[in-house]
Amino acid sequence: MAATMLGCSAMALATELADGYGLQPGDIIRISIWGEQELDQAVLVRPDGGISFPLVGDVEAKGKTIDEVTRTIAERLAQFVPSPVVTVSLQQTEGNRIFVTGRVNQPGVLLINRPIDIMQAIAMAGGLTPFAVRSDIKVLRREGDDVRVIPFDYKAVERGRALEQNVILRAGDTLVVP
């Protein structure tokens, strides 16, 4: 049964990685147009999730992959630059943060540069304190205007049971350890 659960977690991770990194507010990308040196610049993904670029205007970037942003910029730029060759690269992932609060040894903000799950986030926060309620940990995930609560039972996962609850965290998630 545990092998099946591990297989499910591995499949979820593979799916998330295959989908590509979704840009987050605070990330910095570099946009360059071949042959148009004045259009080569670093661009910050704004708190509202958008970016601004000359001749293109505002582009929604939050949650979009580099390829999606590249296509959008190329399409909009085509009316000003014939057959533009657009390159977009991720320079900094400052927007890819999760928050860990409560009874962990080092609560705070974790800057993550790869997919991590709940157990890994707890380890990165220095582990649980002796007074942590191991069976009542929660992930708070904002989805639009709503907040979804994802329960997590550390004791069960530690014993190799209910492994499917050890989900991959997303930028902006808050891990609460009572």
What is the distance between the alpha carbons of residues 125 and 123, in angstroms, rounded to a whole number? 5
**Residue 101 and residue 172 in one domain:** yes
**Residue 70 and residue 102 in one domain:** no
**Residue 144 and residue 74 in one domain:** no
Q: In CATH, what number is assigned to the domain containing residue 80? A: 3.30.1950.10
Q: Exposed, middle or buried by CB within 10 Å (0-12, 13-18, 19+), for 16?
A: middle
**Residue 82 and residue 100 in one domain:** no
**Residue 63 and residue 102 in one domain:** no
**Residue 111 and residue 171 in one domain:** yes
**In a domain? residue 23:** no
Predicted confidence pLDDT, tens digits, the chain (178 residues): 444 333 443 344 334 443 578 898 999 999 999 999 999 999 999 999 999 999 999 999 999 999 999 999 999 999 999 999 999 999 988 878 999 999 999 999 998 878 899 999 999 999 999 999 999 999 999 988 899 999 999 999 999 999 999 999 998 999 999 9
**In a domain? residue 106:** yes
**Residue 139 and residue 124 in one domain:** yes
**Residue 82 and residue 132 in one domain:** no
Residues 178, 150, 62, 68, Cα dihedral to 10°: 140
**Residue 85 and residue 103 in one domain:** no
pTM of the entire predicted model: 0.68
Which residue segment(s) compose the domain that 39 sits in? 28-92
pLDDT on residue 19: 54
**Residue 145 and residue 84 in one domain:** no
Please give the sequence-ordered ranges of beta strands (E in DSSP) within 114-173, or none if there are none. Answer: 137-143, 146-152
**In a domain? residue 133:** yes
**In a domain? residue 10:** yes
Considering its fold, how many domains does the chain have in total? 2
**Residue 146 and residue 122 in one domain:** yes
What is the distance between the alpha carbons of residues 2 and 29, in angstroms, rounded to a whole number? 40
